[in-house]
């Protein structure tokens, strides 16, 4: 342990950097030992695997929304066309939220059956829904299952 303040701070920064690097590597490989606390545990792994195994409307929302932003700009002068574009976007938002809600209801039942009381922790719904709305390629921890490979 260094005795002067500067050396101690430098050592602390180096160890924090090593820990962040280890966590990032774990996020890439799915190594449970070094994942951040918010991603650890069998319940959260089950949620990740379930979300990653299914096709979700939420993962397509961002690209679709970008298209609708461009369409809104293109049809800005035509009020009728702009209104149709906006209402269509609202419909897509509604369908996406409905898909996430249905996914969570089904997943909640499976968690209760598999994990009992541990499957009813606070924050699990938000954990699942936030993962649903991420592009599959951008999700961290990286998906460990292929589509259709639901956890047992």
Its pTM stands at 0.83
The whole-number pLDDT of residue 113 equals 96
In 3D, which of 142, 129, 140, 112 has the Cα closest to residue 43? Answer: 112
Tokens of 16: 């924090």
Mean pLDDT of 92-100: 97
The whole-number pLDDT of residue 2 equals 61
Instruction: Note the pLDDT tens digit of each residue in 74-92.
Output: 988 999 998 999 999 999 9
In contact, 52 and 141? CB cutoff 8 Å: no
């Amino acid at each position: 342990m260094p005795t002067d303040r500067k050396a101690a701070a430098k050592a602390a920064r180096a160890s924090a950097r090593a820990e962040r690097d280890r966590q990032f590597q774990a996020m890439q490989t799915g190594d449970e030992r070094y994942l951040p606390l918010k991603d650890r545990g069998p319940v959260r792994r089950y949620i990740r695997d379930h979300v990653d195994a299914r096709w979700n409307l939420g993962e397509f929302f961002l690209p679709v929304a970008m298209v609708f932003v461009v369409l809104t700009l293109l049809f800005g002068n035509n009020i009728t066309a702009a209104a149709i574009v906006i209402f269509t976007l609202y419909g897509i938002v509604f369908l996406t939220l409905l898909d996430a809600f249905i996914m969570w209801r089904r997943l909640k039942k499976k968690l209760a059956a598999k994990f009992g009381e541990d499957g009813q922790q606070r924050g699990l719904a938000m954990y699942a829904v936030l993962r649903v709305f991420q592009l599959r390629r951008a999700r961290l921890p990286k998906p460990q299952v292929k589509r259709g490979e639901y956890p047992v």
